[in-house]
Every structure is written in structure tokens, then in C-alpha cells.
Amino acid sequence: MNITIKELPDYEVAYVRHVGSYLETFRAWSKLGEWAHKHGIDQTQYSIGISLDDPNFVDEYACRYDACVTIPKGFNKENNDDIQYKTLKGGTYALYQFHDTLDKFALAYQSIFGQWLPNSGYDADDKPCLEFCMNNPATDPEGKAKVDLYIPIKKGDNYSVTL
């Protein structure tokens, strides 16, 4: 598994929350996309997905997902029933570049948390994972998603360096 350690800054985002199957998050993305286009938020901003629940422990109908877009500094955060705002905290993250069909995305999470993380010298940090969406799989010729998956990490409690 090819993992790179990265430092990320804080990101100010606008987001739409989806509750239900992660396979139906396109609804939130559609709503957010319309809003972003209307407000002149261009393609230089990042699209970031946040899966807030583990479907192994939370019923599918109750899983929460935030479809986010970064907003420029000084952006006027107007009141809107569908759009909310928050800051995604930066810090140390493990980056895994996923390029496959979305039905295999859960396997990436399982491999990172089940295999890589326990042997890495790091522990999971108390922030959500960030899914930087690099393409739209619906328009990809092979139907594949390109996602830079960032897992928040911190030095493990039992971590030591041998010289």
C-alpha cells in the first residue's frame, strides 16, 4: 500500500449533509454543485467528501456524509437552509491515492485502518478522514473515481525510533 505522510492546512468549506447510503451522495454533490456555480466558486477550489460514519457500525439509512467545497478567503457566508459552513482542521495526514470504481472504496478504508495503520507507528487522530475528489466518476471513461484519501494521524503511543 503506497502511503505518503502530508501536512494539510485548515480549509474553510461550504457543505451539504447527506444522511443515508453512501452510494447516494450524488444528491448532496448535485445540490452543492448548483450552489457553487451560482456563487461563482470555480474549479480552483477543492471538492472534499467526508464519510462521518462507519457502515459496519451504523445502519445504512443513518450514515452521514458531508459534500464540501473550499471557499475563497473573505467569501460572504450567506444564510441558506441547504448550505452550511465549517473549518476542516489541518495537521498530519496519511495520503492514499485511490483510483478505482467506487464499489471498492470501502476496501481502501479497510486496508488502511486494518493493515497499514496498526503497523505504521501512527495512531488515528480525532478528526474526520478527508476525501479529495479529483474527478467525477460519472464522466470518467472507465467509471473510476480518483480520490486523494487523507487519514488524520498522530505519532503512536508506543512509537520509537531505532538509530
CA 110/CA 160 separation, integer angstroms = 25
Domain ranges of the chain: 3-155
* Predicted local distance difference test score (pLDDT) of residue 158: 57
Out of 3.20.80.10, 3.40.50.300, 3.40.50.2300, 1.20.1270.360, the CATH code matching 3-155 is: 3.20.80.10
* Predicted local distance difference test score (pLDDT) of residue 125: 95
* Predicted local distance difference test score (pLDDT) of residue 138: 85
**Hunting for cell 496519511 — which residue is that?**
94
* Predicted local distance difference test score (pLDDT) of residue 7: 97
Query: Nearest 5°: phi and psi at 114?
Result: -90, -30
CA 100/CA 108 separation, integer angstroms = 10
Backbone region of residue 143 per phi and psi (left: phi > 0; alpha: psi in -120 to 50; beta: other values): left
* Predicted local distance difference test score (pLDDT) of residue 161: 47
* Predicted local distance difference test score (pLDDT) of residue 157: 72
* Predicted local distance difference test score (pLDDT) of residue 93: 97
* Predicted local distance difference test score (pLDDT) of residue 30: 93
Per-residue pLDDT of the chain (163 residues; tens, 9 = 90+): 899 999 999 999 999 999 999 889 999 999 999 999 998 887 778 999 999 998 889 999 999 999 999 999 889 888 788 899 999 999 999 999 999 998 898 899 999 999 999 999 999 999 999 999 999 888 999 999 999 999 999 988 755 444 4
Q: Would you say 130 and 147 are in contact if contact means Cβ atoms under 8 Å apart?
A: no
Residue in 56, 46, 152, 158 with CA at minimum distance from that of residue 96: 152
CB count in 10 Å sphere of residue 47: 20
